[in-house]
Structure 1
Amino acid sequence: MAIRNQIQAVVHTLGSSPSFIYGSANELNLLADQENFPCVFMYPLQPITVTPCTNGSVDNTYTVYLEFLFKTDFDQYTADNETYISQALQMANEFIVKAATYRQGDGRYFKIKAGEKAKCTPVYNKYDVNTTGVSLSITLATMYFQAY
């Protein structure tokens, strides 16, 4: 799906140079074992809102669920991982800013409305490889619509 490629392109512009993987929870758990960290995990898109417009075009709005994660040690307590939470939150904030300004061709690719709420939740000791960071749930609208 093209939207995944655009999100991956935004991730690769982040200052901390995270790697990127895409898949279901089970796939991500397996893929995380061989991945370099920090890493951004992207889950399949759900839901996709399709809105017909009066000018004959169709707008698509995607709910995106990403995790910005660092590899941690198995014996670390939650309090020991707060540094990773801060760094992951900074990465998520940078992603939102860069997604809003990401360009493809002559224009911006995503539209993120001012005041649109994104939810960020701390994630501790997740996956077999043991990762800590934040999950981000955000709605992205594409600027390039299809006219029929």
Structure 2
Amino acid sequence: MRNQIEAIAKSLSASPSFLYGTEKELNTLADDITFPCVFMHPLQPVILSPHVNGSVNNVFTLYLEFLFKTDFGRFTAENEDIVQQALLLANEFIVKASKYRDAEGRYFKIKPGEKAKCVPVYNKFDSNTTGVGLTITLNTMYFNAY
């Protein structure tokens, strides 16, 4: 999953960097990364759903942060333009994830009506970043054993 998410993140219009890891790891790695950046936190439990036709559907919850580096001492209201930019990246990510192709077919399906949660993130990490955190449920296309 991580490789597919990274490929989608790096295809976004702002050309963000990509990091994957725990909160503590990301805090350390953020010191040396180019911003904007997409931070992917470890996957939550993956739900495997076997089907009658012998395929398996994988459903997982993903938490990503779309972050920009900000100056220390800025008030929350002063960061609203940055939150808006990050929100646009999160929207673009969802659209591109639903169209992402790996080999011959789409890799993910995003069910119509499925809701993604996006919350502003302020003064995150030691390097001081601002943006949005996106929680989204993705479904992989059916997996068939070879």
Give TM class, smaller chain: over 0.9
Deviation at 1:104?
A: 1.1
Contact 2:55/2:142 (8 A) holds in 1:
no
Aligned partner of 1:131 in structure 2 is 129
Counterparts of 1:82 and 1:129, CA distance in 2: 18
Runs of 4+ in structure 1 off by over 4 angstroms are none
Aligned partner of 2:17 in structure 1 is 19
SS in 2 for 1:28: helix
Output aligned runs, 1:29-40, within 5 Å.
29-40=27-38
* Consecutive unaligned residues in structure 2, runs of 5 or more: none
* Consecutive unaligned residues in structure 1, runs of 5 or more: none
Aligned partner of 1:119 in structure 2 is 117
SS in 1 for 2:11: coil
Q: Which amino acid aligns with 2:34?
A: N
Counterparts of 2:142 and 2:6, CA distance in 1: 17
1:86 pairs, out of 76, 84, 87, with: 84
> How many correspondences in the alignment?
146
Aligned partner of 1:54 in structure 2 is 52
Deviations 1:49-97 (A, max 9, x none): 1111111111111110000000001111101100110000000000000
Identity of aligned residues (%): 66
Counterparts of 1:146 and 1:27, CA distance in 2: 34
CA-based RMSD of the aligned residues comes to 0.9
1:77 pairs, out of 72, 75, 78, with: 75
SS in 2 for 1:98: helix
Counterparts of 1:147 and 1:56, CA distance in 2: 8
TM-score (norm. length: structure 1): 0.96
SS in 2 for 1:146: coil
SS in 1 for 2:62: strand
Counterparts of 1:146 and 1:55, CA distance in 2: 9
